[in-house]
Amino acid sequence: MYESYWQKKGDETTVVIPGWQFMSYFSDATRLCWFLEPEFAKQIVRLHNVVGNAVTENRHIVVGTGSTQLFQAALYALSPCAEAEPISVVSAAPYYSSYPLITDCLKSRLYKWAGDARSFSKNGPYIELVTSPNNPDGFARRSVVNGSEGILIHDLAYYWPQYTPISSRANYDLMLFTVSKSTGHAGMRIGWALVKDEDVARKMTKYIEINTIGVSKDSQVRAAKVLKVISDNIEGPNEGDSFFEFSYRVMAKRWKQLREAVQQSGLFSVSDFPPQLCMFLNRVFEPQPAFAWIKCEGDIEDCESFLRGKKILTRGGKHFGVSPKYVRISMLDRDKNYETFVRRLSTIRS
Ligand code: PMP
């Protein structure tokens, strides 16, 4: 979906790296996160300040190979190593389907997946993942477990104005962001964490050192350029043509088309979202999530296979810890594929 915008920008985001540059493991040995490129750090802080979606003051930035690596680094850093039992990791269902897979992949003695946060009642320490807006259902979220020993990770991959009104600057202890969802550059494999506690930031950095000895500098330099162009355009004379204005308009159009298709078919339902004021775009709008979380109504029990039969590929509810009556569909595909999808959806009849 974002390709057409970046195509229009032409050479503005082109990066040329001569063979002799960025050869060392190190970016800035004086920083806590010694493999973080200073220009990338600068553009992260600048973009958050321009958009107003996260507090960057008194935070350490840790760069990762996608927020996927940072999530693992955070689990490593937050697990109390003196415990005999692995710490429980929970998230309210429906949760991002990769969380359980990543958490239990190596059968760690530090942490283990404990499922839906809403039914978690064990005493003692736990880690709760709060994804806001949530993948897959798009709702804004807060932590749900009411324990005194909870440690929170806020995955804010979708807290950008094309998806949801920016109502305030997020101000949590550990926040994860990624270019995959903010600018569309999933293939760069770049994410960043804003971390309040120095010790936690140090341990996350240590994990990434052990895991991959840092993060591709080529990618960081490219990501810095993309973020810079976004901020430059917002602060320049043609603000109406900025990246978030463009992507907000595409998402608004797609959600309108989706709701019309759902209505025409009559077999499905999608949630309504309460409108809110976006401080960045300075307008009131309803969230327009990166995924459609669709429920098959009536007697269709397995929505994923039903839609596969209609040539629509989705991910079923059971991957997200809920009923197979639900499916998740990406709203970010290229225009042509999205048009085909809504056309097919609108013509489905029982
Ligand atoms: N967190 C959430 C909630 C996501 O939806 C995704 C991507 N699907 C990620 C993290 C992974 O992001 P990255 O590409 O930066 O690893």
Asked if residues 126 and 114 have their Cβ atoms less than 8 Å apart, the reply is: yes
- According to the model, what pLDDT value does residue 277 have? 98
Residue ranges matching CATH 3.40.640.10 in the chain: 16-235
For residue 191, the ligand 1 atom closest to its alpha carbon is 15
- pLDDT band per the 50, 70, 90 thresholds, residue 238: confident
- According to the model, what pLDDT value does residue 241 have? 84
Is the pLDDT confidence value at 147 over 80?
yes
pTM for the complete prediction? 0.97
For ligand 1, is residue 67 a contact (CB within 6 Å)?
Answer: yes
Q: Could you read off the pLDDT of 292-302 as tens digits, one per residue?
A: 999 999 899 99
Asked if residues 328 and 293 have their Cβ atoms less than 8 Å apart, the reply is: yes
- According to the model, what pLDDT value does residue 124 have? 86
Residues ≥6 apart with Cβ < 8 Å to 110:
75, 76, 79, 81, 86, 87
- According to the model, what pLDDT value does residue 27 have? 98
Closest residue by Cα to atom 13, ligand 1, is 66
- According to the model, what pLDDT value does residue 148 have? 86
For residue 158, the ligand 1 atom closest to its alpha carbon is 3
- Ligand 1 centroid distance, CA of 178 (Å): 7
Closest residue by Cα to atom 3, ligand 1, is 135
Q: What is the DSSP letter of 240?
A: G
For residue 69, the ligand 1 atom closest to its alpha carbon is 16
Residue ranges matching CATH 3.90.1150.10 in the chain: 243-346
Give the separation between CA 214 and CA 292, rounded to whole angstroms. Answer: 35
Q: Could you read off the pLDDT of 40-56 as tens digits, one per residue?
A: 999 999 999 999 999 99
- Please identify which residue in the block is written with the tokens 């929970």: 90
For ligand 1, is residue 290 a contact (CB within 6 Å)?
Answer: no
For ligand 1, is residue 186 a contact (CB within 6 Å)?
Answer: yes
- According to the model, what pLDDT value does residue 349 have? 82
Strand intervals (E) in 68-171: 87-91, 111-116, 126-131, 150-155
Closest residue by Cα to atom 2, ligand 1, is 157
Is the pLDDT confidence value at 150 over 80?
yes
C-alpha 71, offset from chain centre: 11
Q: What is the DSSP letter of 93?
A: S
Mean pLDDT of the chain: 96
SS3 313: coil
Pick the more confident residue, 155 or 147.
Answer: 155
Tokens describing residue 148: 């005194």
Half-sphere exposure (CA, 13 Å, Cβ side) for 218?
Answer: 9
Query: By mean pLDDT, which of 103-107, 204-208, 236-240, 313-317 is the weakest?
Result: 236-240
- Ligand 1 centroid distance, CA of 65 (Å): 11
**Of 91, 98, 159, 319, best ligand 1 pocket probe by most atoms within 8 Å of the beta carbon:** 98
- Ligand 1 centroid distance, CA of 186 (Å): 9
Q: Provide the CATH number for the domain formed by 243-346 in this structure.
A: 3.90.1150.10
When pLDDT is averaged across residues 248-264 and rounded to a whole number, the result is 97
- Ligand 1 centroid distance, CA of 263 (Å): 30
When pLDDT is averaged across residues 227-239 and rounded to a whole number, the result is 92
Is the pLDDT confidence value at 222 over 90?
yes
Give the DSSP H/E element, type plus range, for residue 68: helix 66-78
CATH fold label, 16-235: Aspartate Aminotransferase; domain 2 (3.40.640)
* Residue 167 burial (10 A CB sphere; 0-12, 13-18, 19+): middle
Give the separation between CA 17 and CA 128, rounded to whole angstroms. Answer: 40
- Ligand 1 centroid distance, CA of 202 (Å): 22
Q: What is the DSSP letter of 131?
A: E
